[in-house]
Structure 1
Amino acid sequence: MTGHADDPLRALIAATRQSLSSGAAALRAAYEAHPRTATVLKGRAHLVDEAIIGLWRACEMPPQATLAAVGGYGRGELFPCSDVDLLILLPESADADLQARLSTLVGALWDVGLEIGHSVRTVDECLSAAAEDITVQTNLLEARLLTGNRALYEDFARRHREQLDVRAFFKAKELEQAQRYARFNDTPYSLEPNCKESPGGLRDLQMLGWIARAAGLGRNWRELARRRLITGEEASELRSVERFLQHLRVRLHYLAGRAEDRLLFDHQERLARIMGIEPGAARRASEMLMQRYYLVAKKVTQLNTILLQNYGAEIFPDQQGPAITINARFQAVRELLDIRHENVFEQHPAALLECFLILQQRSELKGMTARTLRALWLARKLINAAYRANPAHRALFVAILQQKRGIVHEFRRMNQYGILGRYLAPWRRIVGQMQHDLFHVYTVDQHILMVLRNMRRFTMGEHAHEYPLMTRLILGFEDHWLLYVAALFHDIAKGRGGDHSRLGMEDAREFCEQHGFAAADRDLVVWLVEHHLSMSQVAQKEDTTDPEVIRRFADLVGSERRLTALYLLTHADIRGTSPTVWNGWKGKLLEDLYFATQRLLRGATPQQALGLDDRLDDARRLLRFHGLRPGVEDELWAQLDAVYFMRHSPDEIAWHSRVLYHRPDAAEAVVKARVAEDEDGVQVMVFTRDQPDLFVRLTGFFGRLGFSILDAKVHTTRHGYALDSFMLQDPSRAGSYRDLVPIIEHELAARLNTPGGGPIERPSAGRLSRQVKHFPITPQVSVRADEAGRHYILSVIAADRPGLLFGIAEILARYHINVQAAKIATLGQRVEDTFLLTGSALTQDAQVLRMEQELLERLQV
């Protein structure tokens, strides 16, 4: 294939590339004029068939070789930007000449603009690869002959079919689905789901097709209905949800111009408009699209569960076993709960809740049979106001909450099959409801179930290593099932308008009264729902080293039982918002607030509650442990006031003292850094003669290095030195911070020791995140005096972005305002920062107003 022989091939490549391009444009135009999935999926597969066969022939492939389409392409379905998977079958390994031709062919396929995935194998190699890899086996299952040696292809197809172990294939695909679900936290309800891979996506439907094909059960939904594996109505539903997901994926590919399967915020609004969805009076078009998507995904997971069970009964008929009677309504079949006759729920409505209770109480049961799930879904509308008012039904619901196992599993199942939304009327409003607060990554209902899951994990021994304090507290908490009720109601009023905490409190009160809770239990649940945000707000926004702050929080809590309950709920709530929101530093803030408040409630004075004397004693012990003789710290500590000791932990005090005890009057700046205790960040200490704009310089330096500042403690000693501490984190960093410690120490010290401090470093503005672009936050700024009148508190709410803290510090410096402490709370893409300030400008209303206006302008995205 050299010399002039290349010229015809090059000409064919150019012509084929043009043909594919014009053909794809024609398919898109036809689809947009009359949206039918077959137009694109079948049309593109046919277009690619012609191109590939033409190039195969042009490359003069030998007649004994075979070319087959596999995977989705083998199925005859190609989305606009999907890869093209090919199998080149050979009777024996390729010689040098054939390898050269194959290389030319593959290069030509790429040159015409196709994203090719290919394998070159003999039949024996195909069978060996399929035996070792379920993905290969699945791809080969959908193989389709394109061109070449038909006899070789038919030999491969026959031998592959003979080798296929249907039972092993079924089990492997079930395991594969479970692993895929785990990657997406077992939920289709994330705010940016993958319409192909997420639970409830196209992959769930494709898997059903693969198993049916492997087991010879049918090649489409209609054939499965004829075999009574699904009902005719379910076959229609499967066709409908499949078409919706296919349309969604086609539109996504066209919109993104690439193989994009994630419903990113960037695309949701435009996608909704393209699909003809208009905004409502109070809801975006994207919200309406996503709620529709979640309902489709929910239906897919329901039907996937039903069909997999029916497949299992067909594939493993010898494992049926006799039914074991449980009671007059239910029996056990193959470790699954089964109704004893088709009209159980109509004749015994209490069974709609009883079935979940039985699953909790009988650990040998792994789920429900397909006919039970189907009957449950169809009978859900029996749950009405009269049903909810029945004392027996109320007792069943409370019993489900009180069980020792299976609570999260069964509440998820109740939500999946519409039972929870029918029994808890307010729940219906939050199913599939998005939360565009740049903080939560789940819909409201799924967030609540994640909080319930977290609360349950606190009680389990296998998770005690993750939450040792939580486990100890909840196991010592009498009737800790009441916390599950608080978890269910804490966000149940989201999206109604008004304060969701107060609205949810009323829902919780009504539930508790209807279900016969004792007055003390009712009051606890109602109080928790009303104040479920209070502890995180105090810990992350207020100065918890201020005795007055601790006293006010203790007054709010009132008792140690409430304190412990709120601590557990707060911990579970924050962890249930997003995998990225929680960090060890937030955990430490909550823990410190918990123990300080606990000591105050047990009779300590506010100073004792903050443990000032204990802190000093603990710090001294740490200094002795490190070999420093008694008294070496006295000269340094004489320059530090009580505020410093209350704001720093014993470990931090001892660390500062070890570094500074021999140089309390250091002529040059001292900078020390260390990796945080949980390895998720770096702590930096700066000791230098106080100087103008120091806080601006420090935030600029850290911002240039790409750090987010989680916490800042700014202190001025009695002899005019700044002793500042920062907790830093690099959100993009995957490895250890240890290599950054010497860099920070050397570079920052050099800058601070430059005469005049050198020029202020301005961090890069960076790029706004996708979430901030599509769901902007209106910034809020407020300045108020604290209750003692000694300081002022600046509160800032804004969308997070690089250089944000530097911008705030720069404006404060311009007004000669000193930052005494900073609480930096980053909630996903939203920041809620609080600064403790001093400065004469703060006493002048006109100055404060101008400063607030400048801050608002700087915070605008």
Structure 2
Amino acid sequence: MVAVTPLKEQISKKRSDIRAAHQNGTRGQEISSALATLAEDIIAQLYRTALGELETNVRHQLSERISLVALGGFGRGEMSPHSDIDLMFLYRGKPADSAQEFSSALLRRLWDVGFQVGHSVRTIDDCIALGKADDPAKTALMESRFLIGSAPLFRAFHEQFEKRVVDHRVDEFLLSKIKERYQEYDRYGTSVYMLEPDIKRSKGGLRDLHIIQWAALVRYSIATLDDLHHKAFLSSKDFHALTQAREFLWRVRAELHFHAGSAQDILTFDEQIRLAEQFGFADEPHLLGVERFMQQYYRHTTAVADISARFVTRCRSVSVWDRLSGLLPSRRPERGFLITNRRLTIDPAFRGEVMSSGTRLMRLFFLSVRENISIADELLEELHVQIDGMTQDQFSDPSISEMFLYILAGPHKIIAVLDLMHRVHLLEKIIPAFGWARGLMQFNQYHKYTVDEHTLRAVACAEAFAKDSREPKERSDFSQVYQDIRRKDLLHLALLLHDLGKGRKGDHSLIGADLAREASQRLGLDDRETSL
């Protein structure tokens, strides 16, 4: 029997070495792999010891009938310092008593050396039945990886599970994962711009990277981002954005776990300050180091959330209606634009003209509202880069102001359009002060979101009063007041501007008033409208 104390010391020494490598700047991917390899090595060592202590005939039977399998994140070979180890004892034949006894003996030793192990003992038929009945179980099982034991047994399981479970009900599975993810958003944050996000479960966190891999497994039988890129299912731009974000999030999560000594995934204010200093984000004249650190976090998670949503959408089957729509001729709402497959896009013949003109790009969003139709996802991907390369002067035009105020007036889904405009950096071209507010932290107990997200949500709350609400009475009264306001465009503009003075020297309300006057002048409002 392996002595527990020396083995615990061996594990502690190895974990200390991994932590030192992390603190010296080793890449997050290498730290994650090193932690997984350490767990694999200890499991293999204890497996061989436990097997060697059995009688010869039992040992030979079990070595051919049992396989140790890593599941979930451990199956992907991705571990953080205090991740749980999800382990399956796959066995063949009956009775199962010997497999149960062996698994119990091995688990006790793993617990004795300090491993947090979730476990199951299953046959191939058990796995297939469970995978068909339970999508979370299917997700864990399809990321399985052989560790030690009977390799032929694992191969048989893998082939049958892929054929009988993974390749079936693909669209139902994807819808189930989307629903699960939205439930996590409701609990951990529906916005990327949470002030204290959960780096695994909040929007744009590691879980959104996982859902890309799950969708790729069931739709394309591809398990890694590298293979998705090599086989052209991910563009080079998206691939590099995802790998950079993953590296950043892995490093942050490793540091959170190492420092807390537990599975800590919440990026609290205190941890943000500590990590910003540790990762070398120094203060600048008008921006604290912690603000620079969090802006990088928001940049990465925004990219992950966006790419994940687009990728999963592409993995879903095209509906009958969409296929029929694709056979219909494109409709031209006006010169330079097309409606194809129920999506608004740019006419290829006018692409250069539209993409180089601030007025024409604004027209795209205006038409989306007027025609009540979504802008094509692939076009939105390009707009961010294109608009970033344009000047604010290219968006200073009376016609742009007129279209912007039209959008703000409603009664269409104002916040949905503003969110898109913010996503592609158009909003800050029209209201320059909004660029300063992007990802700007608010270090106080009264706010839950960054300044830009806070102002957008203020507009969303106001817009919600447009809906008929009979109870409670207080809300009904507010709804009536909102509906009686004639210039809702000015109300929504005021809400967009109300906190943009934050993060600057001086009284933010006075600075905000100056910014509001500048924005009003830029939008061509008269003195009365500006004073309102």
Q: TM-score, normalised by structure 2?
A: 0.89
TM-superposed deviation, 1:265: 1.8
Q: Structure 1 residue 347: deviation in Å?
A: 5.0
Contact 2:384 / 2:423 at 8 angstroms: preserved in 1? no
Choose between structure 1 and 2: higher strand proportion: 1
Once residues 157 and 217 of structure 1 are traced to their aligned partners in structure 2, the CA distance between those partners, rounded to angstroms, is 12
Partner SS for 2:326: coil
1:578-629 deviation line (CA, Å, top 9, x unaligned):
xxxxxxxxxxxxxxxxxxxxxxxxxxxxxxxxxxxxxxxxxxxxxxxxxxxx
What is residue 56 of structure 2 aligned with on the other side? none
Match of 1:135 in 2: 136
1:486 paired residue among 483, 491, 494: 494
- Aligned-pair distance for 1:448? 0.6
Q: CA deviation at 1:434?
A: 0.7
RMSD: 2.5
1:38 maps onto 2:29 in alignment: yes
Q: Given the alignment, which residue of 343, 356, 359 partners 2:365?
A: 356
Instruction: Tell me the equivalent position of 1:574.
Output: none
CA offset digits 1:161-193 (Å, max 9, x no partner): 122222222222222222222323421111111
- CA drift of 1:69 comes to 0.2
Q: Render the CA deviation track for 1:414-449: whole Å, top value 9, x for unaligned.
A: 112211122210111111111113211211111111
In 2, Cα distance between the equivalents of 1:464 and 1:498? 41
SS at match of 1:459: coil
Give the secondary structure class of the aligned counterpart of 2:147: strand
The reply on whether 1:417 has 2:421 as its aligned counterpart is no
> Structure 1 463/269 Cα, relative in aligned 2: closer, same or farther at 3 Å?
farther
Q: Secondary structure at the match of 2:118?
A: strand
1:650-799 equivalent positions in 2, closer than 5 A: none
Change (3 A) 1:383 1:142: same
Q: 1:230 to 1:50 in 2, by over 3 A?
A: closer
> Per the alignment, in what secondary structure is the counterpart of residue 189 of structure 1?
coil
Higher helix share: 2
Aligned partner of 1:509 among 517, 526, 531: 517
- Could you say which residue in structure 1 is the equivalent of 2:174? 170
Asked if 1:16 corresponds to 2:7, the answer is yes
* C-alpha deviation, 1:344, in angstroms: 6.1
Partner deviation per Cα, 1:274-331 (whole Å, 9 max, x = no partner): 2122223454432221122112212222322333344347999968723642434333
CA contact (8 A) 1:321 1:333 kept: yes
Distance in 2, Cα, partners of 1:108 & 1:463: 61
Distance 2:117 2:425 in 1: 43
Runs of 5+ consecutive residues of structure 2 not aligned to the other structure: 52-58
> Which residue pairs with 1:321 in the alignment?
326
In the alignment, the residues of structure 1 paired with residue 440 and residue 131 of structure 2 have an alpha-carbon distance, to the nearest angstrom, of 43
Matches within 5 A, 1:16-415: 16-60=7-51, 62-63=62-63, 64-92=65-93, 95-162=96-163, 163-164=165-166, 165=168, 166-216=170-220, 218-312=222-316, 321-322=326-327, 324-327=330-333, 328-341=335-348, 343=352, 345-363=354-372, 365=373, 367-381=374-388, 383-415=390-422
More divergent stretch after superposition (313-322 vs 508-517): 313-322
Q: Shift in Å at residue 22 of structure 1?
A: 1.4
SS at match of 1:474: helix
CA distance in 2, matches of 1:242, 1:280: 26
What secondary structure is seen at the aligned counterpart in 2 of 1:119? strand
How far 1:483 moved relative to its partner? 1.2
**Structure-2 separation of matches of 1:243 and 1:301:** 15
Distance 1:463-1:289 versus aligned 2 partners, 3 A rule: farther
How far does the alpha carbon of each residue in 1:462-509 deviate from its partner, in whole angstroms, 9 at most, with x for none? 586471111121112222332111101111111222222222223223
TM-score of the pair, normalised by structure 1: 0.56
Query: 2: CA distance between counterparts of 1:25 and 1:293?
Result: 27
Distance (whole Å) between structure 2 residues aligned to residue 77 and residue 513 of structure 1: 53
Amino acid of the structure 1 residue aligned with 2:510: R
Counterpart contact for 1:313–1:320, Cα < 8 Å? no
d(CA) in 1 for partners of 2:183, 2:104: 36
| 1:495 counterpart residue number | 503
Structure of higher CA gyration radius: 1
CA drift of 1:67 comes to 1.0
Residues 266, 286 of structure 1: alpha-carbon distance in 2 compared, 3 angstrom cutoff = same
Looking at structure 2, the residues matched to 34 and 473 of structure 1 have their Cα atoms a distance apart, in angstroms, of: 57
Corresponding residue SS for 2:447: coil
Q: What letter corresponds to residue 476 of structure 1 in structure 2?
A: D
Describe the SS at the equivalent of 1:198: coil
The percent identity for this pair of structures is 28
User: What is the match of residue 54 of structure 2?
Assistant: none
1:419-458 superposed matches below 5 A: 419-458=426-465
Q: Deviations over 1:765-785 (max 9, x none)?
A: xxxxxxxxxxxxxxxxxxxxx
Contact 2:438 2:452 in 1 (8 A): yes
Letter in 2 for 1:111: D
User: Does the CA contact (< 8 Å) of 2:398 and 2:524 recur in 1?
Assistant: no
Relative to structure 1, the CA distance from residue 209 to residue 16 in structure 2 (aligned partners, 3 Å threshold; closer, same or farther) is same
Matched residue pairs, number?
Answer: 513
Tell me, in whole angstroms, the C-alpha distance in 2 between the residues paired with 1:86 and 1:335: 46
Letter in 2 for 1:494: K
Q: Is the 8 A contact 2:357 2:394 kept in 1?
A: no
Letter in 1 for 2:363: E
Give the CA deviation at 1:217.
6.1
- Residues in 2 aligned to 1:52 and 1:500: alpha-carbon distance in whole angstroms: 58
**Whole-Å separation in 1 of the counterparts to 2:397 and 2:299:** 29
Partners of 1:91 and 1:122 within 8 A in 2? yes
Residue 48 of structure 1 and its aligned partner are, at CA, apart by 0.9
Residues 124 and 157 of structure 2 are in contact (CA less than 8 Å); yes or no, is this contact kept in structure 1? yes
* 1:89 to 1:33, Cα distance in 2 relative to 1, 3 A: same
Tell me the distance in 1 between the aligned counterparts of 2:469 and 2:132: 36
Q: State the secondary structure of the residue aligned to 1:267.
A: helix
* Aligned partner of residue 195 in structure 2, secondary structure: coil
SS of match in other structure, 1:421: helix
Deviates more, 1:398-407 or 1:119-128: 119-128
- One-letter amino acid matched to 1:355: L
Report the CA distance shift for 1:217/1:330 in structure 2 as closer, same or farther (over 3 A).
farther
- The answer (yes or no) to whether the contact 1:458–1:464 under 8 Å persists in 2 is no
Q: Secondary structure at the match of 2:192?
A: coil
What amino acid does structure 2 have at the position aligned with 1:369? A
Amino acid at match of 1:256: A
How far is the alpha carbon of 1:385 from its aligned partner?
3.5
Match of 1:830 in 2: none
In 2 relative to 1, CA 347–274 (structure 1 residues): closer, same or farther, beyond 3 Å?
closer
**Quick check: 2:184–2:202 contact (8 Å CA) kept in 1?**
yes
Decide whether aligned partners of structure 1 residues 92 and 421 sit closer, same or farther in structure 2, where only a CA change above 3 A counts.
farther
Aligned in 2, Cα 1:385/1:281: closer, same or farther, shift over 3 Å?
closer
CA deviation map 1:97-139 (0-9, x unaligned): 4433322222211111111111222222212222232221111
Q: Which amino acid aligns with 2:468?
A: G
In structure 2, relative to structure 1, the CA distance for the partners of 1:336 and 1:304 (3 Å cut) is: farther
Instruction: Give the whole-Å Cα distance in 1 for the aligned partners of 2:470 and 2:272.
Output: 37
Q: Is the 8 A contact 2:358 2:395 kept in 1?
A: no
Q: What is the CA–CA distance in structure 1 between the aligned matches of 2:38 and 2:406, rounded to whole Å?
A: 60
